Amino acid sequence: LAGGILVGGLGTAIHRSIYFEVLPLGLIIGLLLTAAVALLARAAGGPVTLLAYAVGLVVTVQLLSLNAPGGSVLILDPRETSVRLPYLGFAWAIASSLILLLAFLLPPAWFQRSDQ
């Protein structure tokens, strides 16, 4: 759960980082981190640990997409913004969830130790 909160918060904070005006490096790093921790959670603790990680990540991303009391928001609505690459927020929210789904769907045999 704590890993999901950490990765969800970090990914939400960096997903809009763009380099050379076209490379969404923040989104790429966030999704790679999501996948790495998902695979680690699945391998180390099984599906239950992965579920806890997924709940932490998804809830954090959804909470951080809400408007703050001052009106600021971390995941922008592409219809209400003029920033370059306005769909990065949707890409972050949807792709991170899809990565978690794929981690759940991987065969259990991939995560069994060979010495057993």
Q: What DSSP string runs through the chain?
A: -HHHHHHHHHHHHHTT--BTTTB-HHHHHHHHHHHHHHHHHHHHH-HHHHHHHHHHHHHHHHHHTSPPTTS--SS--GGG--SSSTTHHHHHHHHHHHHHHHHHHS-GGGGS-TT-
pTM, rounded to two decimals = 0.88
The CA distance from 108 to 17, in Å, is: 35
Contacts of 25 (CB under 8 A, 6+ apart): 17, 18, 19
The CA distance from 37 to 14, in Å, is: 17
| pLDDT by position in tens, the chain (length 116) | 899 999 999 999 998 888 888 889 999 999 999 999 999 999 999 999 999 999 999 999 999 988 878 777 777 777 776 677 778 888 999 999 999 999 999 999 888 877 75
The CA distance from 46 to 99, in Å, is: 16
